[in-house]
Structure 1
Amino acid sequence: MPPKEILEKKRRRRSDYPFKLEYRTRWFDNDMYAHLNNTVYAMYFDSIVNTYLINHCGMDPFSVNNKDQSSSQSTAEQVGIIVSSYCDYFSSVSFPDVLDLCLRVAKLGSSSVTYEIGVFKQGEEDVKVVGGYTHVFCARETMRPTKEGMEAGVRRGLEKLVVKDKERESKL
């Protein structure tokens, strides 16, 4: 029998994730076994996380150290460095499937965040893949964490994605 953590992930639903992004698979994404190549999932995870960081946390890499012309908010001066990643596969998908990538924050620390991404095929309720990674936010110049932790604007954006597992809470 799989570990309890894997069984919890396999029961995920779209409603367990506050942020969603539609993603169309490409012919190029398939491998020789006619399903998405494992490495493609890492690109999907990177796409949804960075879409959220750019649009909701001020981490636009194309506006480094500049004021956003449409707001008074400065862009983040930190970068997120991946320190760990994982992926649990439950069912395969392939081109030409349209996917719903769904994002939540599993853990928010002072200078780090652990993301969880659920991959769903549109029209189906069962999660196909659950994966994610941990970012440590570092000063751009030194690539080292700062004493102050992650910037306040980044933290405010990520706090909106923090989801507590109902199953774990009921046992506390």
Structure 2
Amino acid sequence: MTSDYPHWETVPTRWQDNDVYGHVNNVVHYALMDTVINEWMIRTAGFDPLAGDAIAMCVESHCVYKAEVSFPDTIRMGMRVGKLGRSSVRWEIGMVRSSDGTLVAEGHFVHVFVGRGSRRPVEIADPIRAEMQRLVAA
């Protein structure tokens, strides 16, 4: 499992993440995926969401839930690029409960890079693309 994803982050769950059923609510899984992806783009690939010429818009997201996770568990988030296009990227995420290695969810996000003003697709900038290439699934 760990070799399936070249990038890993560990994130804590929070008290407020549990729903009335006693497990992390589905919306939290999406927020964690979005956070891990965007943090990587900003810190590793040099993406500037506030002032760059292009922004990354989510056009598709999906999550398959495999097992429950609850506060105070921590989650290991594995990330890879499933497909890298001219102006789009499909991020694939595996979420693993840290305490026992159980796969709790798998999901994906598709970002299309668009001009900040035009909102029309633009090519992914070369420095960002080069970093994404390192995460392309084999």
- Show the counterpart of 1:125: 101
TM-score w.r.t. the length of structure 1 is 0.77
C-alpha separation in 1, matches of 2:88 and 2:49: 19
Deviations 1:13-52 (A, max 9, x none): 1221111111000010001000010100110001100111
Q: Distance in 2 between matches of 1:60 and 1:92?
A: 34
Could you tell me which runs of 5 or more consecutive residues in structure 1 were left unpaired when the two chains were aligned: 1-12, 65-75, 165-172
RMSD of equivalent CA atoms: 1.1
Structure 1, residues 44-98: CA drift from partner, whole Å, max 9, x if none?
Answer: 0011001110011111335x2xxxxxxxxxxx42110111110001101010001
Q: Say yes or no: does 1:153 pair with 2:127.
A: yes
1:140 aligns with 2:116: yes
- For residue 87 of structure 1, what is the aligned residue in structure 2? 63
Shift of 1:124: 2.0
**Structural mapping, 1:15-164, within 5 Å:** 15-62=3-50, 64=51, 76-146=52-122, 149-164=123-138
> By percentage of residues, which structure has more helix?
1
Number of residue-to-residue matches in the alignment: 138
Q: How far apart, in 2, do the equivalents of 1:139 and 1:60 lie?
A: 13
Q: State percent identity of aligned pairs.
A: 37
What is the TM-score normalised by the length of structure 2? 0.95
Q: Higher strand fraction: Structure 1 or Structure 2?
A: 2
